[in-house]
Structure 1
Amino acid sequence: MNDFIKCPRGTKDILPFNSRKWHDIESEAHNILASYGYEEVRTPIFEETKLFERGIGEDTDVVNKEMYSFIDQGNRQLTLRPEGTAGVVRCLIENQLYKNKINRLWYYGPMFRYERPQSGRQRQFHQLGIECIGSDDARADFEIISIAWNLFCSLKIDNLSIEINSIGDYQDRAQYVKALSIFFRDNQDLLDEESISRINKNPLRILDSKNPIIKELIKKAPMLPEFLGERSKQHFNQLCKYLSNSNIPYIVNPRLVRGLDYYTYTAFEIKAKSLGAQDTICGGGRYNNLIQQLGGPSIPAVGCGIGIERLLLIYNRKEYIKPLDFVVISLDEKSNDYSIQIFNSLQSMGFNVQSSLNEGKVQKQLKKAIESKAKACIIVGEREINNNIVNVKWLKSKENVEIKIEELRKIKKIYSSKIFIS
């Protein structure tokens, strides 16, 4: 047993007792997204590498350090998707979904980044993405934030904060990047080697530094709002008004800059205070230039991604598992055909049923049924087959009831007349 194969570092198995929580979150998300008129889109897990290089940005950590890229047998350069927006945009362009309509889309699935595994951060992680494509109205930004907020509220997750900022359009940001480059160049002696290399390439990425000395320096750096044009300010003020009027709490964080290059105007994060360093459970913003950047027409868009693994760390809804109604026990191999007939009939009536596959005496199988919290056992043996009956043993009251096989539907009435205390 010493040489058994483990799952790769940075990945996790989702075991049955955890998968129920996943289903709970997924079901809640489906319901809320449907109520806003959003439709699901499914894209490949791997795409051409250049999609992410052009979409996310060649100077980002994601592209430079974190992507799982490979060359396939046809000599194609491919990458396991590190995020979902670029793939959705590629799908939109390729299938011309953008014609004469606003697309409200969502996606869900695994993403892949080579990062140092820690609580809330894995190399394979799952993301729920929400995209509103085709409108530059601040109401679309509000809609995306509202959906995420309402999902978290419906899951009864509290102690959350929404941080928002405007990173302006490309012209606003170009001025800011210029000022930031000058600031960091003047303070180059306080920067580490990696940050120095970013001064000319992309000084915005220095703002993501975890280095304590650089974090202190960043507090003195120019702030983006000082460089916003009138259009950017107006868009941001409208969003703030919509959030305030809807009683959705938010904090303006002038230092907030998302880690992907495609963002324009709105950037936001929803954070959970209890998660510590990896506290962002949802992040997003507007990406008005990405579609054109990837070969499509000029179409504005806004969206966000929700990290499911991090969400699960703070999701504490009491689990409810519907217990089994019946366990069907065969006393011998000759009884299997008859037990399957009963099993199928009960399933078709909507009961939760399980076949006991345990070998051994009937008392042992009954004990297993009691441990599973089933309501009743149906015992199938030679006597039941010869007399065409169904022998029902209610486990709480220890009462036995026999029903003719052709009258098995009567069991619904008998079942509903019983009072069970879990």
Structure 2
Amino acid sequence: MKAPRGTQDIIPGVSEKWQFVEKQLIDISRRYNYKEIRTPIFEHTELFQRGVGETTDIVQKEMYTFKDKGDRSITLRPEGTASVVRSFVEHKMFGSPNQPVKLFYTGPMFRYERPQQGRMRQFVQFGVEALGSADPAIDAEVISLAMNLYRELGLQSLKLIINSLGDKESRNNHREALIAHFQPVKGELCEDCQTRLEQNPLRVLDCKQDREHEAMKTAPSILDFLSDDSSAYFTKVKAYLDEMNIPYEVDPNLVRGLDYYNHTAFEIMSDAEGFGAITTLSGGGRYNGLVQDLGGPETPGIGFALSIERLLMALEAEGIDLPIDESLDCFVVALGDEASIKAAGIVNTLRNAGIQAEKDYQERKMKAQFKAANRLNAKFVLVLGVEELQEGYATVKNMETGEQENIVFDEIPVYLEQNL
């Protein structure tokens, strides 16, 4: 038996990297005053149809959808924002006196697509959402948080791309211009883009298959269709980023793949050599209107999400070793049945005292037990033999210095706490 295609086992030796990275992401988010939210792994299918958008590739091609025993259509969540907004509405968080409501989440997402390096059918996403503020300063804060998550883990080869998708008026005007531009060459576009041109022409600009088509290079820019309000909003976002010393590039073709985006959109890329053909690390943007679409009051929002798999790939591409301590505090070597029983008690006492401890469970000889301690990179080894049991102490060896001391049983936890 093997894991299903597009999934992976994260085994010891690798899981420690995940734990370290996830802890860093959470700690930094809390520094920005974001609170954790946990939503179900599956939701009613309608949530993603309404929230993500009927015309997106996710809804049309990539969702894991099934009927439950009550004949209800259920979908494994393909992204996090729709679930967070659903919870925001359901629990009436819009009534909280603390606004905006600032949330972060982490967990597995599911999309049925062709597996490739850094793109799995089950992947782990970390994201943040800020709901309840239309201030461009919160846009800049969210982008700053995203950039700092990468920088504080040591990544250097980063590029921030931003764009404005404008308000409804701006998008409608741009939509008409796109249809007029691509209609003459519609037959030359891929089948998906021919459908997108009728349903959501902005998505044509996001096509990977037709990206080199000549019409793409001369497509009308959304920036030329921004209303005065949208243009002023985007100018303020850039001013905040400038004040924060966050470099960026404006790309008018950046549209993102989800229907709910408007105004600010952004992606963070990796320029690291060997990172791979897909350079995007994370992306997000503003989604004013999504709360209303899911049954809530008019509430602006902005957020982003990143793939932890791709984050770990970027760290590897830049040769960054995470400071993970894989050593063991203490290994107890026991010789004989009585010593083994006493060792179990000592190990339990040490663990209760907050000390990482292990003992032999293979009935190995002393030399083999010391080898096991070395493989586990133990800092101290406690030896229990016949003499030690009779005298009521353990021989404690510092594995770095080689020094040994006899420590009575009751004093072992304090001794290790002082010397670790």
TM over 0.5: yes
Which deviates more from structure 2 when the two are superposed, residues 93-102 or residues 214-223?
A: 214-223
State the Cα distance separating 1:396 from its structure 2 match. Answer: 4.6
- C-alpha distance after superposition, 1:288-346 (max 9, x if no partner): 10000111100001111111111100112343315223211222333333112211232
Give the stretch that moved more between structures: 51-60 or 406-415. 406-415
1:147 equivalenced with 2:156 (yes/no): no
Unaligned runs of 5+ in 2: none
Amino acid in the other structure paired with 1:73: K
Which whole-Å CA distance do the structure 2 matches of 1:173 and 1:372 have between them?
Answer: 59
* Matches for 1:99-110 after TM superposition, within 5 Å: 99=95, 100=97, 101-110=99-108
Query: % of aligned pairs identical?
Result: 43
Aligned counterpart, 1:78: 74
Partner of 2:302: 302
Tell me the alpha carbon deviations over residues 152-189 of structure 1, each in whole angstroms, 9 at most, x when there is no partner. Answer: 11111011111111101122111111111122111123
CA contact (8 A) 1:287 1:301 kept: yes
Look up the match of 1:27: 23
Match of 1:6 among 2, 7, 29: 2
- Paired residues in the alignment total 412
2:115 alignment partner in structure 1: 117
Is the 2:189–2:210 Cα contact (8 Å) retained in structure 1? no
Shift in Å, 1:22? 1.4
2:313 alignment partner, SS class: helix
Segment drifting more, 184-193 vs 284-293: 184-193
Amino acid paired to 2:165: I
Unaligned 5+ runs, structure 1:
417-422
- Equivalences for residues 335-374 of structure 1 within 5 A: 335-374=339-378
Q: How far 1:221 moved relative to its partner?
A: 1.2
Deviation at 1:407? 3.4
**Match in the other structure for 1:420:** none
Specify the SS of the correspondent of 1:303: strand
Equivalent position of 1:184 in the other structure: 182
C-alpha spacing 1:397/1:157, structure 2 compared with 1 (3 Å): closer
Letter in 1 for 2:150: F
In the alignment, the residues of structure 2 paired with residue 150 and residue 335 of structure 1 have an alpha-carbon distance, to the nearest angstrom, of 51
CA distance in 1, matches of 2:42, 2:363: 45
* Corresponding position of 1:167: 165
1:94 to 90, 99, 124: 90
- Decide whether aligned partners of structure 1 residues 214 and 324 sit closer, same or farther in structure 2, where only a CA change above 3 A counts: closer
- Aligned partners of 1:121 and 1:278 also within 8 Å: no
Cα distance between partner residues in 2 of 1:39 and 1:399: 47
Match of 2:337, as an amino acid?
Answer: E
> Considering only aligned residues, what root-mean-square deviation do their CA atoms show, in Å?
1.8
Secondary structure of 1:357's counterpart equals coil
Aligned counterparts, 1:3-402, within 5 A: 5-99=1-95, 100=97, 101-212=99-210, 215-274=213-272, 275-315=275-315, 316-402=320-406
Displacement of 1:406 in angstroms is 3.2
Matched-pair contact (CA < 8 Å) for 2:186–2:194: yes
Is the Cα contact below 8 Å between 2:396 and 2:404 reproduced in 1? yes
For residues 369 and 202 of structure 1, do their structure 2 counterparts lie closer, same or farther at Cα, with a shift above 3 Å needed?
Answer: same
Deviation readout 1:181-230 (Å, 9 max, x if unpaired) = 12211112321222222221122222122225754321111111111101
Q: 1:365-386 CA distances to partner (integer Å, 9 max, x unpaired)?
A: 1122123221232222343333
Q: Which moved more, 1:74-83 or 1:319-328?
A: 319-328
SS at match of 1:402: strand
Moved more, 244-253 or 177-186: 177-186
Residue 80 of structure 1 aligns to which amino acid in structure 2? L
TM-score by length of 1: 0.93
Partner amino acid for 1:232? S
Show structure 1 runs of 4+ deviating over 4 A: 396-399
Higher mean alpha-carbon deviation, 315-324 vs 54-63, is at: 315-324
Is residue 404 of structure 2 the alignment partner of residue 408 of structure 1? Answer: no
* TM-score, with structure 2 as normaliser: 0.93
Change (3 A) 1:311 1:203: same
* CA distance, structure 2, for counterparts of residue 162 and residue 140 of structure 1: 17
| 1:410 CA displacement | 5.4
